[in-house]
């Protein structure tokens, strides 16, 4: 399925979760062959984030995600576009704020999780493997 044509290419927003400016781009020439949301932060603590955009997502879906209100501050205080990856263990965006379920294959990103654990990522302690399946602590609005 071909991706929905998007007019949105670049947007700059203030990211209250990281207290910095975020430049968000739609990379429609990603090496994987799928569109990706790429974010660059003007912060020494947060530099770059990227995640796959589903083919059926429109500009409206992306804008809804980008402008979701911040969650309550705390340990898991990520911007909305990072929630699918860090809270819900997905390599692809999905409409979690509308109740949509994660459709990413568990085994498809097993190596990514293992890499996080080996690299000492800030989220490595949040994932574990049981009988070949990945599991994560997913409390979105904690």
**Structural domain spans, the chain:** 10-136
* 40, β-bridge pairs: 23, 48
| Digitized pLDDT (tens) for each residue of the chain, 142 residues in all | 556 778 889 999 999 888 999 999 999 989 999 999 999 999 888 889 999 999 999 999 999 999 998 877 666 778 989 988 877 788 899 998 899 888 774 544 454 455 445 444 444 444 333 333 333 333 333 2
Strand runs (DSSP E) across the chain, as ranges? 10-15, 20-27, 36-41, 48-52, 127-130, 133-136
pTM (2 decimals)?
A: 0.68
């Amino acid at each position: 399925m071909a991706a929905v044509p998007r007019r949105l290419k670049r947007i700059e927003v203030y990211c209250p979760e990281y207290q910095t400016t975020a430049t968000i781009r739609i990379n429609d020439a990603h090496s994987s062959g799928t569109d990706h949301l790429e974010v660059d932060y003007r912060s020494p603590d947060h530099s770059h984030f990227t995640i796959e955009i589903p083919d059926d997502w429109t500009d409206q879906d992306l804008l809804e995600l980008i402008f979701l209100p911040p969650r309550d501050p705390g340990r898991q205080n990520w911007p909305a576009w990072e929630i699918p990856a860090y809270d819900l263990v997905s390599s692809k965006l999905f409409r979690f704020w509308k109740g949509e379920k994660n459709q990413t294959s568990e085994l498809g990103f097993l190596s990514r999780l293992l890499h996080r654990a080996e690299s000492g990522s800030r989220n490595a302690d949040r994932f574990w493997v049981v009988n070949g399946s990945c599991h994560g602590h997913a409390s979105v609005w904690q």
